[in-house]
Structure 1
């Protein structure tokens, strides 16, 4: 298993049941949805519109990337 997959799995397991269900629905839409559904998903979560990343120091590690 790659580090990226392991970090994703670790972050997924840290979610509560409601959050896990939402992640599953997002992945289903990404994998099986049509282009209109994918675009709506991207817009609703700000996936493509994000223009900045905060690299401020934080305690511990990022649950998504492990850094």
Structure 2
């Protein structure tokens, strides 16, 4: 099998993951730099959810670590 075909196939298969990670990172940056009291409450809710619901925390960690 041609190495170029394998490489192209790999990159094509990673498109959705890469876009999702970029969108999540952008959302986090925008959320944590916003200066709204409602946003502060939402941030606390998100962190508490990550702490209290281990499957969500694991899913989030897997998405951001790779």
**TM-score category, normalised to shorter length:** 0.3 to 0.5
Q: TM-score, normalized by length of structure 1?
A: 0.37
Q: TM-score, normalized by length of structure 2?
A: 0.37
Structure with more of its chain in helix, by fraction: 2
- Answer 1 or 2: higher relative contact order, Cα 8 Å, separation at least 6: 1
